[in-house]
Amino acid sequence: MSTSIEEFSPALPSVIDQLRSAVAGSVHAPGTGGYDLAVAPFNLAAVHHPAAVVVASSAADVAATVRIARRVGKKIAVFATGHGAAAATPDSIMINTSLLDNVVIDPQAKLATVGAGVRWQRVLDEATPHGLAALCGSAPDAGVVGVTLGGGMGPIARTMGFAADHVIEIEVVTGDGTLRRINASTDPDLFFAIRGGGAAFGIVTQITFRLFEIQTLHAGGLFFDIVDAARVVHGWREWVQQIPESVSSSIAILNLPPLEDLPEPLRGRSVVHVRYAHVGDVENDDALVTYLRCLGTPILDNLTEIMYADIAAIHADPTDPLPVMERSVLLRELPVEAVDEFLAVASPSGGLPLILTEIRAMGGAMSRQPEVPNAVVGRDAAFNLFTLGPDVPDLHDVLPGALESVLGAMAPYATGAALPGFAGEPTGEPAKRVMTGWSPETLTRLVAIRDQYDPERIFAGAARW
Ligand SMILES: Cc1cc2nc3c(=O)[nH]c(=O)nc-3n(C[C@H](O)[C@H](O)[C@H](O)COP(=O)(O)OP(=O)(O)OC[C@H]3O[C@@H](n4cnc5c(N)ncnc54)[C@H](O)[C@@H]3O)c2cc1C
């Protein structure tokens, strides 16, 4: 019979007691209402079971939690909004960052400084009155830090680059429990690694990044019935190879449930969704948009001039929690044959249990390293393929195989790598795909930096590789 140290020494405080005496925020044990609330994910398939959850009230709480986790031999997991695919395990202590919610906009310097618990929409809403825009992802209810650390590929990324390319300062707690404020001059290696390499190096408590003078976009989506799919997707493929850098676009095949929340023409239907965003002079894009509209008969057309803060309308991602499993791979090219494969696997006739399979056009500003280079993967990719299915009990065992078969069909055109935010849960093939994104030299450099700042791999519960 195994006996724990705590059973031998009843005077030794439990992990929960140690945390409670060290942090000002609340500490929750499994089986309590506070715990359930603090770990309730957006992706309902990523069910978190940490040994404890600390709702940090300050960066000092994060640092104290890391030091205790190290002392008691636990990993650290992190939770901001629960949009991620990783589930925290009982060998971890989870840090919930939702109370680190400071947002400071500096309109003169065109900078935002935000706490680790802040969601993009809040930054958009606070930057808009100053005529400024933040480079969020397609779903502005996701977290600023989580999205940015994986790269952050948003609806205007071809024009503006990855969110991580515009980070200028980070406050982070590293494996020794030290809170550091880092930038390109103070800690060039760590600053390189976190921007793209993510939580493998520490827990970010605050981040500062550039804002841009963008108030409106000509943007939105066109939906076509699945019967038009071949013409629309092949037509988009030809069109997208010629678009200027001021335009970003993606295309998705969606198999939608009959939900009341969906616009009536989309309910219970399989459709093709073409997304479009043009930064700059709207006069120039009439021809581009007319071409897209003529690819079929749109059943819904919400392509118009929008306020930047309404950028969520472009992808119209779901805003209510749902259980999904996801996979992704970067594509180096999209020849005609690749579109045929895409149509075969993603359409309902392919017989796979998929909700969404999308291709985002990359290139443009994403293909260039920023002035201060970072570890974001995908600079060499032309497209990003992403697919997800419903992780419900009936499908749980078959879904990984179904999602992998989509990637298998696209393998001849793939680089083999994946962006961390889209890859799926951070084990097995998805984690390998993330690491494949780095050259052997860069991976060696990242591992050396990780060994320096987290030699005990305490952040394995938060990292995506
Ligand atoms: C509907 C939807 C749309 C999306 N669209 C895009 C998109 O357009 N572009 C894009 O790039 N990605 C997109 N993503 C992926 C998104 O970038 C990742 O899911 C991201 O991890 C979400 O971060 P979060 O903090 O909101 O989620 P959480 O589940 O709270 O965190 C997920 C992970 O982020 C990291 N993380 C969070 N906080 C910290 C911290 N303080 N310190 C260190 N690491 C931290 C950790 O690795 C953590 O496990 C989308 C996801 C969803 C569900």
Is the pTM higher than 0.85? The answer reads yes
Name the residue of 55, 66, 83 to mutate for ligand 1: max ligand atoms within 8 A of Cβ. Answer: 83
Q: Are residues 86 and 128 in the same domain?
A: no
Residue 178 maps to a domain: yes
Domain end, chosen from 72, 96, 120, is at 96
Burial class (CB in 10 A: 0-12, 13-18, 19+), 281: exposed
Q: Are residues 82 and 172 in the same domain?
A: no
Residue 415 maps to a domain: no
List of residues 6+ apart from 194 with CB closer than 8 A: 149, 170, 172, 182, 201, 202, 204, 375
Residue 373 maps to a domain: no
Q: Are residues 49 and 151 in the same domain?
A: no
Q: Are residues 202 and 122 in the same domain?
A: yes
149 lines ligand 1 (CB under 6 A): yes
Q: Are residues 116 and 156 in the same domain?
A: yes
Residue 377 maps to a domain: no
* CA 421 to ligand 1 center in whole angstroms: 6
Contact 42, 321 (CB under 8 A): yes
pLDDT for 285 equals: 82
273 lines ligand 1 (CB under 6 A): no
pLDDT for 282 equals: 67
Nearest to 6 by CA among 61, 179, 15, 112: 15
* CA 84 to ligand 1 center in whole angstroms: 5
86 lines ligand 1 (CB under 6 A): yes
Domain end, chosen from 78, 96, 114, is at 96
Q: How far is CA 272 from CA 278, 348, 402, in A?
A: 20, 12, 20
Q: Are residues 107 and 77 in the same domain?
A: no
pLDDT for 12 equals: 67
pLDDT for 8 equals: 46
* CA 113 to ligand 1 center in whole angstroms: 18
Longest alpha-carbon distance in the chain: 76
Is the alpha carbon torsion for 458, 459, 461, 463 positive or negative? Answer: negative
CATH code of residue 145 = 3.30.465.10
Q: How far is residue 389's CA from residue 396's CA, in Å, rounded to a whole number?
A: 10
Instruction: Tell which atom from ligand 1 comes closest to the C-alpha of 95.
Output: 41
* CA 285 to ligand 1 center in whole angstroms: 32
List of residues 6+ apart from 104 with CB closer than 8 A: 112, 113, 114
38 lines ligand 1 (CB under 6 A): no
* CA 147 to ligand 1 center in whole angstroms: 4
**Mean pLDDT in consecutive groups of 10 residues from the start of the chain, 465 residues:** 43 88 97 96 96 98 98 97 95 98 98 98 98 98 98 98 98 98 98 97 98 97 98 98 96 96 95 97 82 97 97 97 97 98 97 98 98 97 98 96 98 98 95 97 98 97 93
Residue 219 maps to a domain: no
Residue 117 maps to a domain: yes
Write b or e for each residue in 149-179: b if 16 or more Cβ atoms lie within 10 A of its Cβ, otherwise e. bbbbbbbbbbbbbbbbbbbebbbbbbbbbeb
Q: How far is residue 388's CA from residue 377's CA, in Å, rounded to a whole number?
A: 21
Q: Are residues 143 and 158 in the same domain?
A: yes
Q: Cβ of 413: how many Cβ atoms within 10 Å?
A: 21
Nearest to 38 by CA among 110, 88, 112: 88
**Residue 305 has which token pair?**
């001039």
Name the residue of 61, 78, 328 to mutate for ligand 1: max ligand atoms within 8 A of Cβ. Answer: 78
Residue 193 maps to a domain: yes
Q: Are residues 116 and 193 in the same domain?
A: yes
Angle at 278 between CA 423 and CA 132, to 5 degrees: 85
Residue 301 maps to a domain: no
Domain membership of residue 18 as a residue range: 13-96
SS3 annotation, the chain: CCCCHHHHCCCCCCHHHHHHHHCCCEEECCCCHHHHHHCCCCECCCCCCCCEEEECCCHHHHHHHHHHHHHHCCEEEEECCCCCCCCCCCCEEEEECCCCCCEEEECCCCEEEEECCCEHHHHHHHHHHHCCECCCCCCCCCEHHHHHHCCCCCCCHHHHCCHHHHEEEEEEECCCCCEEEECCCCCHHHHHHHHHHHHHCCEEEEEEEECECCCEEEEEEEEEEHHHHHHHHHHHHHHHCCCCCCEEEEEEEEECCCCCCCCHHHCCCEEEEEEEEECCCHHHHHHHHHHHHCCCCEEEECCEEEEHHHCHHHHCCCCCCECEEEEEEEECCCCHHHHHHHHHHHCHHHCCCCCEEEEEECCHHHHCCCCCCCCCCCCCCCEEEEEEEECCCCCCCCHHHHHHHHHHHHHHHECCCCCCCCCCCCCHHHHHHHHHCCCHHHHHHHHHHHHHHCCCCHHHHCCCC
Q: What is the residue type of 315?
A: H
Q: Are residues 117 and 83 in the same domain?
A: no
**Count of structural domains within the chain:** 2
Q: Whose C-alpha lies nearest to ligand 1, atom 7?
A: 137
Q: How far is residue 287's CA from residue 203's CA, in Å, rounded to a whole number?
A: 46
Q: Are residues 117 and 195 in the same domain?
A: yes
CATH code of residue 31 = 3.30.43.10
Q: Are residues 187 and 127 in the same domain?
A: yes
Starting at the earlier edge strand, list the strands of the sheet with 103-106. 103-106, 111-115, 203-210, 167-173, 179-182
Q: Are residues 88 and 119 in the same domain?
A: no
Domain end, chosen from 80, 96, 112, is at 96
* CA 151 to ligand 1 center in whole angstroms: 10
* CA 200 to ligand 1 center in whole angstroms: 14
